[in-house]
Structure 1
Amino acid sequence: MQCKTAAFHAAISVLVGSLFPMSAMAAPTESIATNDATAATRDANADVLKRLPFANRQDFEDAQRGWVGSLDSGEIRNADGRVVWNLDAYAFLRDDASPASVNPSLWRQAQLNLKHGLFKVTDRIYQVRGFDLSNMTIVEGDSGLIVIDPLLTAETARAAIDVYYKYRPKKPIVAVIYSHSHVDHFGGVKGVVSQDDVKSGKVKIYAPEGFMEEAISENIFAGNAMSRRAQYMYGALLPKGPQGQVDAGLGKTVSLGTITLIPPTDLIGKTGETRTIDGVRIEFQMAPGSEAPAEMLMYFPQWRALCAAEDATHNLHNLYTIRGAQVRDANQWWRALDETIDRYGNRTDVIFAQHHWPKWGQQSITGFLSRQRDAYKFIHDQTLRLANQGYTMTEVGERVKLPPSLASQWDLRDYYGTVNHNAKAVYQRYLGWYSGDPADLHPLPPEESAQRYVQYMGGADKILAQASKSYAQGDYRWVAQVVKHVVYADPSNLAARKLEADALEQLGYQTEAASWRSAYLVGAYELRNGVPKLQGTQTASPDMIGAMTDTMFLDFLAVRLNGERAAGHDLKFNWVQPDTGKRYALSVENGVFLYKPERQFDDAGATLTMPRSALIGSLLGQTTLPAELSAGRAKVDGDPAVLKSWMGMLDKFDPQFNIVTP
């Protein structure tokens, strides 16, 4: 038994690190070397002040309307005293005049997103805003509270409900509603209710049909890559300041706490379905495939109030998110908003969403929803018009521009999504990555092509001399594009790294999009300083892993199988779950990990008998396989070398892989 235990434990350790990547939410860097805005950047940002209606202050009035109160401090800490949320770091945003290193339009949005605390939306509907990337909405029932979207992490959710209780009666929470399947709208649930309360029936949890599958799959299968790329999108490593991170567009940033999940007890499946919860009647509109694969809007007829979930917020949203995810359907999105207008437009006095601030007044609300609808439809239709004329994805991104009637609206500016990358998303959805030009069908990989580009262009020194002239002329897009080849050809070329970083930095200072700004500035940081090695929270948290179905769990393991290492190996082994009676026949053949439910191989090389929860626990470090074997909760029959061989085929993903260097 000792031999089997040691062999299997060694194999398990190979798996642990690959299963649970670090998230983007790591401790921010205290200080980094930066440059000032150049003359070209100053001119570009000054031009923005001339082109947009900064004199219109309606959003500032709406964002402050109904304010009740907030935290005494801008900091929220976890049980260990670590800061998981810090609004005090954004004190620099209180300056009205935008600095030269921030696009003035983005500065305006960052100031609006800094307004925080408890706000009264209308009778018996309140929101806690500014405590995370998303909002928590609290609806007062006859005897208890209904919480809509309990933020990203448990610590910020707990602080949000505490702020509500600071100013309002302390009624019990009787229901939680998840508006959709993105983690910033459910991850804090255990900060407001417990699993026991839900299990006992004291609290019900409502969600759109398909919620669990979408919530888990998006964060798991490509989770390591998404987490790394999210570091660029949200700028979590950047210091807060005029030359660092100022906002995330959709909210200030993401919190650094604990992601939790309690599965829903009641699913909503059809538009027009209603629920009466503690005396509050709610009518649901389903919007699957719009901003999220599983999403729903909510109408409260008692107060003529509409919760738009995340389908209509105060920015142009993402059809493609640059952290990486499946492309969203602009056609579904505009149709959902069109239905919203038809169903609720003439009977809504206030609209609020799970990001940003509400709008009041029927005419204002209808105009807002119509603009949002028209923007997504315009991008969809014009992209396909151009694609059908033979324009490529990159060309489409440059050509599609919102008409002035839409582009001049603050609630359609490029703070989170951009017209440029949204048009590319529509192209990708319909036509994929290939431009149609055979020269693009099988290009050389970046490192190899970079070496040849440098050789063809006369060597690194000549390229850098030319690029330096372009930098002096303010041609930063071209400098970043061309010097990237020098860096990929020779990542040790410090002059190239510095010049590319300088160009990316100025692009970051100029862009209106918070996500692009963060990406540019993080890229500049890593070119100058290398990739930081950090400790962070885990996107694949115990609750998220535990909520996976067996099929998801086994598919997740299959993603880790290294096809090259597995080639030429044929393995058969069984997995038995003694607590559920479920049985699986597992195999590796042709470089593929396969599984058959309710099957067992008669000629299996080994059989692992172990509850799924115990296996997950051992992978999470909550227990170990030796401990489970010793306690009699696990058993290995047959040759443990078969299991060790399989484990040795599983990749351990690097959560901090290179992006701006090879």
Structure 2
Amino acid sequence: MLSSRTRRSVALTAALSLLALSVHAQPAASKPATATTRAANAAVLEALPFADKQDFEDAQRGLIAQPKELTIRDANGKVVWDLESYKQYIGLDQAAPDTVNPSLWRIAQLNMQHGLFKVTERIYQVRGYDISNITFIEGDSGWIVIDPLLSVETAKAAFALVTEHLGKKPVVAVIYSHSHADHFGGVRGIIDEADVKAGKVRVISPPEFSEHAISENVIAGNAMSRRAVYMYGAMLPRSAQGGVSSGLGQTISAGQVSMIEPTEVVSKTGRELTVDGVKMVFQLTPGSEAPTEMNTYFPQFKALWMAENVTRHMHNIYTLRGAEVRDALQWSKFIQQSQELYGDKVDVEFQSHHWPTWGQARIANLLSKQRDMYKYIHDQTVRLMNEGLNGEEIAETIKLPPELDQAWFNRGYYGTLKHNAKAVYQRYMGWYDANPANLDKLPPEAAAKKYVEYMGGSASLLSKARADFAKGEYRWVAEALKHAVFAEPGNVEAKNLLADTYEQLGYQAESGPWRSVYLQGAFELRNGLPQGPGMKTASADMIRAMQPETLFDYLAVRLNGPKAAGKKISINLDLTDLHKQYVLSLENGVLNYANSMSPQADATLTLKMSSLIAMQMGQGSLKDKIASGEIKLDGRQEAVPELLGLMDNFNFWFNIVTP
């Protein structure tokens, strides 16, 4: 079975393969910023060191080429990446609109700096072609590529830009720094799998890369993908009232996500590899920003690649799309280890998002303050927890010291201090805050009806909410109105006022995901659920790379337990291409499997794993494959359809802001 560690967070995989979503043709108009929001955003300009322009110099340093327009389409003409839509309203010479937190506006301006950049001798990056960066290191005969973006189309376009300006050379190796999809999904845009199989291209990764890259898409992919619509704001209009930046980058691309499995695994910290004349020393950082991840030091160039363990903002200890909580303490220790290993012999630090840092003193400052930020969040959350505060109280209490808080690279553009502190609390204490009233709370809809009743009915609640909205008490208004909406989902006045409230909270948010969450919530309250097929939770390459055990775990979570109660079915699987045999056993409303066949099974399926995968991808039914002879079924013929009939098909567009 997949371990809980295997199912850990894969930061962007819940947002894989964004499909063309048809939204309402004429969605309800956004509202302007209120006086309260304008004042809150103006205060940010006074609170932070906006006169410091070093990041703007660094983000533009080394620019070699920049396309006049950056719109990337797939083979069918569908736009999969469109920086032009942001250029209409985000520019270096434009002040933050009053509907955008000025600090978030600043990171958006920086993330708009795109094109081909020279990092240092023989190291280049293409930035702004996806949510992540793609890095090209010049070997003796070709390119070593680190992290080939999320989509095939964006990686291909980035490679074309490099070829145009630096000459035509083959890719001789690809390095996956970690298991998040925006760091491997575009690989087929730069290499051919046939060349990998022929030994012409090396694909290098940290341990258990494929397992981690695949697992979360299968087990919890539907729920995470639905929530990712909120987190990444990919559906929000491109305007000062809509999507501005995710903080990590502008947004996610919407092309084909691919994967080619690694040919080499880095098994320990300190492992050295020389690829095409380039020496690399690896540092494994499992359980930090990703369940499997590694940094790389290039001694010839005195360059340190920090993967996604160091970025130009506060990262997520917990991601809003849903995931297991990351280990902030371990994360800080890995950054400390990087300093100890390489700190006195590095001239440039670069990573998979944002821009590099040059100079040993500035690199030391970046690493030490990022290290201390994560450790401070951990240590002070645990301190306050041990003093008796719960997660929500800690989030309201904790403050970074000025020396950490005023560093631009520690600002909460992606993660936030509040939700990261709650995450540390959750990691140690779980969901229960020890208050007996919260041990067995009513579910939202039932509680909402009682709240509205206690508040004197919806008319009274709305009257009070309007008055508090006028006073700018948006957090409380949201708390009160969510009950009105859940108690009376047809109450348009309550939904519209709650939408207005979420909108103002979004306009004030410094975090890109917080802004997206609030604005997507406002959109759905005003317009209803989006239309269309939703998001894919796994790419074809990922499905093809699944091991049988992963597929069986997925079938188990699709099993409708109440419908399966009282039923007992067992099916043997003889996977002839893998030379593996299993038995699936349904009993007690649970689907288990064992690594051998049972002579008492109701039926036996003899087939190839590729046939199972094809059916998972919708390429033919069981009935058709049996009729064609591709699959052989012995025993009770009805057993397999009966088992499959107990499986749920998940609805992507489930409600979030309404019951």
TM-score, L = length of structure 2? 0.96
Maintained 8 Å contact 2:65/2:116: yes
Matches within 5 A, 1:546-557: 546-557=544-555
Q: Structure 1 residues 612, 251: CA separation in 2 closer, same or farther (over 3 Å shift)?
A: same
Q: CA RMSD for the aligned pairs?
A: 1.4
Instruction: Report Cα offsets for 1:206-227 as digits up to 9, x if no partner.
Output: 0001212211112221100000
Residues 22, 530 of structure 2: 8 Å contact kept? no
Instruction: Give the match for residue 643 of structure 1.
Output: 640
Q: Is the 8 A contact 2:17 2:254 kept in 1?
A: no
2:459 to 458, 461, 464: 461
Counterpart position of 2:506 = 508
8 A Cα contact 2:22 2:532, kept in partner: no
CA contact (8 A) 1:24 1:230 kept: no
Offset, 1:550: 1.1
Residue aligning to 2:6: none
Query: Counterpart in 1 of 2:205?
Result: 207
How do 1:530-609 residues align onto structure 2 when only pairs under 5 Å count? Answer: 530-536=528-534, 538-597=536-595, 599-609=596-606
Match of 1:8 in 2: none
Instruction: For structure 2, list consecutive stretches of 5 or more residues without a partner in the other structure.
Output: 1-13
Deviations 1:546-584 (A, max 9, x none): 111111111111110111011111111111112223111
Partner residue, 2:516: 518
For these two proteins, the number of residue pairs brought into alignment is 642
Match of 1:473? 471
Aligned-partner Cα distance in 1 for 2:651–2:506: 27
Where does residue 289 of structure 2 map in the other structure?
291
Which residue does 1:87 correspond to in 2? Answer: 83
Deviation at residue 604 of structure 1 after TM alignment: 1.9
Q: 1:425 to 1:368 in 2, by over 3 A?
A: same
| Equivalent of residue 73 in structure 1, options 69, 73, 78 | 69
**SS of aligned partner of 2:56:** helix
Quote the Cα distance in structure 2 between the aligned partners of 1:256 and 1:460.
Answer: 42
Shift of 1:537: 5.0
The answer as to 2:618 corresponding to 1:621 is yes
2:389 counterpart letter in structure 1: Y
Q: The residue matched to 2:203 in structure 1 has which SS? A: strand
The correspondence for 2:59, drawn from 63, 73, 94, is 63
What letter corresponds to residue 615 of structure 1 in structure 2? L
- Which residue, 492, 495, 499 being the options, matches 2:493? 495
Aligned partners of 1:477 and 1:57: how far apart in 2?
33
Distance 1:245 1:28, change over 3 A: farther
Residue aligning to 1:130:
128
| Structure-2 residue corresponding to 1:40 | 36
- 8 Å CA contact 1:258–1:537 kept in 2: the answer is no
The aligned counterpart of 1:232 is 230
Structure 2 residue aligned with 1:162, among 160, 163, 178?
160
For residue 137 of structure 2, give the secondary structure of its aligned residue in structure 1.
Answer: strand
Q: Distance in 2 between matches of 1:613 and 1:150?
A: 27
Equivalent position SS for 2:250: coil
Q: Secondary structure at the match of 1:68?
A: strand
Q: 2:653, 2:111 → 1: CA distance?
A: 29
CA contact under 8 A between 2:16 and 2:257: conserved in structure 1? no
- Change in 2 beyond 3 A, CA 1:166/1:537: farther
Q: CA deviation at 1:649?
A: 0.9
Q: Distance in 2 between matches of 1:154 and 1:640?
A: 42
Q: Specify the code of the residue in structure 2 equivalent to 1:183.
A: A
Tell me if structure 2 keeps the 8 A contact 1:587–1:594. Answer: yes
Residue number in structure 1 paired with 2:336: 338
Matches within 5 A, 1:289-328: 289-328=287-326
AA in 2 matched with 1:177: I
C-alpha separation between the residues in 2 aligned to 1:537 and 1:427? 31
Q: Report deviation, 1:618.
A: 2.0
Superposition map of 1:234-313 within 5 A: 234-313=232-311
Partner of 2:609: 612
Query: C-alpha deviations, 1:388-410, integer Å up to 9, x for none?
Result: 01100111111111111111111
Secondary structure of 1:535's aligned partner:
coil
Which amino acid in structure 1 is aligned with residue 468 of structure 2? Answer: S
Instruction: Indicate whether 1:403 and 2:377 are aligned.
Output: no
**C-alpha distance in structure 1 between counterparts of 2:388 and 2:135, whole Å:** 46
Cα distance, 1:71 vs. partner? 2.8
State the identity %.
Answer: 54
Write the distance in 2 (CA, Å) between the matches of 1:25 and 1:440: 39
Superimposed CA distance per residue, residues 319-373 of structure 1 (whole angstroms, 9 cap, x where no aligned partner): 0000111110001100000011111111110000000000101000000100000
AA aligned to 1:457 is M
Task: State whether residues 24 and 231 of structure 1, in contact with CA within 8 Å, keep that contact through their aligned partners in structure 2.
Answer: no
Alpha-carbon distance, 1:96 to partner: 1.7
Contact 2:17-2:539 within 8 A present in 1 as well: no
Residue 24 of structure 1: how far off its partner (Å): 5.1
Whether contact under 8 Å (1:209, 1:294) holds in the other structure is yes
Change (3 A) 1:175 1:346: same
3-state SS in 2 of match to 1:538: coil
Q: Distance in 2 between matches of 1:100 and 1:610?
A: 61
Calculate the TM-score normalised by the size of structure 1.
Answer: 0.95
Give how far 1:26 is off. Answer: 4.4
1:657 aligns with 2:654: yes
Aligned residue among 440, 445, 448 for 2:446: 448
| Cα pair distance change 1:433/1:100, threshold 3 Å | same
The letter for the 2-side match of 1:603 is: Q
- Whether the aligned pair in 1 keeps the contact of 2:19 and 2:533 (CA below 8 Å) is no
Shift of 1:621: 2.2
Counterpart CA distance in 1 for 2:410 and 2:424 is 17
Q: Equivalents in 2 of 1:250, 1:643: separation in Å?
A: 45
AA aligned to 1:617 is A
> Residues 386 and 396 of structure 1 are in contact (CA less than 8 Å); yes or no, is this contact kept in structure 2?
yes
Q: CA deviation at 1:535?
A: 3.3
Aligned with 1:531: secondary structure?
Answer: coil
Match of 1:381 among 358, 379, 382: 379
Rounded Cα–Cα distance in structure 1 between residues aligned with 2:521 and 2:360 = 44
Distance 2:301 2:132 in 1: 23
* Structure 1 residue 416 corresponds to structure 2 residue 396: no
Instruction: Verify the 8 A CA contact 1:483 1:496 in the aligned structure 2.
Output: yes
Q: Distance in 2 between matches of 1:22 and 1:61?
A: 33
